[in-house]
Amino acid sequence: MLQLESLSKSFAPNVAALADVSLDVTPGELVALVGSSGCGKTTLLRLVAGLDSPTRGAVALDGEPIRAPHPAIGVVFQEPRLLPWLNIAQNVGFGLMDRSAAERENRVDAALLRVGLAGYGGRWPRELSGGQAQRVSIIRALVTEPKVLLMDEPFSALDALTRASLHDHLIGLWEAQRPTLLLVTHDVEEAVALADRAIVMQPRPGRVFADIALDLPRPRDRLSPAFTEAKRVILAALDGSLEAPSPRQKAKHASGAWW
């Protein structure tokens, strides 16, 4: 169980990125964080990854506090961030250096095969397309079999056709290992295509506005009425999150301030 308890993050006395975010994510669940720019989605992911420390509150995985990067938590960033001086097999196997050479090779070969890149192990990152590089980034994070995979808008820079193809690859990989998956996205269709739940964030400061169940069968039909309705519900929640007053605005109103 991944637990976020009353999580808050401030970068300066008057700059609150997150305020009192509490969230439980069950093992194997796929959750999308959706919200406008500046609502703290990436900050939240960094706190869960142990890359930053909360101002208040805590993150725990199976009861263990997360205060630093943890081997059970993998991260996929917006850019592939492949190491240019390593070939593709070496990039994928980078987190397996504690394993024997034979096990590392077997795992890397199996991972590349799973995403349609068998035979690419000897190539260099510069020789890959954007979609291929992001596939390598995803399997590099998954090859160590983490309990939790965090993804920060990993498909945002890709064209629509490549993005949809990678959605299918991601679901196949997720179904094979069933890690808990926390995905940050601006794309409502992406959230509905992938997630079991959509957490809509409200900005200034970032906090949970709505928790929406996406109980659609997989594989998901993007043209179905149920898919369209799920998108409508999330879009309505996003509109509501921008219209609802922030705690600071409520406090001004309560104090009688009119400006």
Phi first, then psi: what are they for 255, rounded to 5°?
A: -85, -5
User: What integer pLDDT is reported at residue 246 of this predicted model?
Assistant: 61
Which portions of the chain are predicted below pLDDT 70? Answer: 244-259
Residue 203 tokens, joined:
């900005």
User: What integer pLDDT is reported at residue 253 of this predicted model?
Assistant: 38
Q: Is the pTM of this model over 0.85?
A: yes
User: What integer pLDDT is reported at residue 254 of this predicted model?
Assistant: 39
β-bridge pairing 15-25 and 64-65: unpaired
User: What integer pLDDT is reported at residue 21 of this predicted model?
Assistant: 96
User: What integer pLDDT is reported at residue 256 of this predicted model?
Assistant: 40
For every residue of the chain, which 3-state class applies, written as one string? CEEEEEEEEEEECCEEEEEEEEEEECCCCEEEEECCCCCCHHHHHHHHHCCCCCCEEEEEECCEECCCCCCCEEEECCCCCCCCCCCHHHHHHHHHCCCCHHHHHHHHHHHHHHCCCCCCCCCCHHHCCHHHHHHHHHHHHHCCCCCEEEEECCCCCCCHHHHHHHHHHHHHHHHHHCCEEEEEECCHHHHHHHCCEEEEEECCCEEEEEEEECCCCCCCCCCCHHHHHHHHHHHHHHHHHHHCCCHHHHHHHHHCCCC
User: What integer pLDDT is reported at residue 251 of this predicted model?
Assistant: 44
User: What integer pLDDT is reported at residue 181 of this predicted model?
Assistant: 97
Distance CA 191, CA 207 (A): 18
User: What integer pLDDT is reported at residue 78 of this predicted model?
Assistant: 87
Domains of the chain: 2-86+147-255 (3.40.50.300)
Residue with tokens 């996003």: 238
